[in-house]
A = this chain, B = another copy of it.
């Protein structure tokens, strides 16, 4: 089970109703943050998430409305007693950008800050998940991220094992750990591993093949949806997507669910963008600030 919380869903500038880009994925106690616009630390405080549980922060690109909350959050974590290292990932230029902002405000923090720049496609492995990075198309170095739980072992079939002559006890454990016992191989008594849930977050992008490739078979695609249908020209000019373009990517990629975010402030109620997207991809939802979705193998639901 993954929990996805939208901390900011507006494009470019904030409004009374929408802060700027930040999305959190919670897996068990751990929180991973994607983008960190100005105000994200306070949005976190107003949400049910603990900002002290954040292990990694992924920045899609170095525009202010995705980045400017980082120095404040880094400092606040320090003032709140953080000791664990913090990993920040982003495109080329991220190191200078983050250090430039921290130096500007004499940022003080006592934990280890590790900044990694990603160039192109790359898989990053963590204990409970991995993150695949892929390029998006937004006129500056920009990345999308695919967060995926590690696969879990299939169910062990005790009755089958016994029928094959294995005695309950340590040999059961050996088979579950992948060892062969008395000629019985693990795949004879174990279901295939269960793949983990996957969530793709595009950040800002036009409709792009690289996003389609990165989103193949994802359980959830969170896609730039700055504009409504009919605004394709404006979307192309500013290198964003319309809700329908997002829906087309979700359909082509075979994603299970689509959540639209990063809305232009010309739209006061974004439900209409969801309705337009549903004409192409019925399993579409719209993100508002502080919305949390619970994603399981069988469903997605707001909680």
Residues of A within 8 A of B (CB): 12-16, 19, 38-39, 41-42, 45-46, 62-65, 67-69, 71-72, 75-76, 79-80, 96-98, 100-101, 103-107, 140
Contacts and interface: CB of A to CB of B under 8 A. Distances in A.
Most chain B beta-carbon contacts within 10 A, residue among A15, A64, A75, A80: A64
Contacts of A69: 38
Given A16-B45, A100-B101, 8 more contacts: A12-B79, A13-B75, A14-B76, A64-B71, A64-B75, A67-B104, A67-B105, A100-B100
24 contacts: A13-B75, A14-B41, A14-B42, A14-B45, A15-B42, A15-B45, A16-B45, A38-B72, A39-B42, A62-B104, A63-B106, A64-B75, A64-B107, A65-B72, A67-B105, A68-B68, A68-B71, A68-B72, A96-B104, A97-B105, A98-B104, A100-B103, A104-B104, A106-B140
Most chain B beta-carbon contacts within 10 A, residue among A71, A80, A96: A71
Nearest to A70: B104
Nearest to A39: B39
A142 to B, nearest CB: 12
A100 to B, nearest CB: 4
A75 B62 CA distance: 14
A226 B69 CA distance: 24
The 10 lowest CB-CB distance pairs between A and B, nearest first, are A64-B105, A97-B104, A100-B104, A14-B42, A100-B100, A38-B72, A13-B76, A39-B39, A101-B104, A68-B72
A245 to B, nearest CB: 23
Nearest to A73: B38
Contacts of A46: 16
Nearest to A80: B13
A158 B76 CA distance: 63
Given A14-B42, A68-B68, A105 B62 contact: yes
A80 B68 CA distance: 18
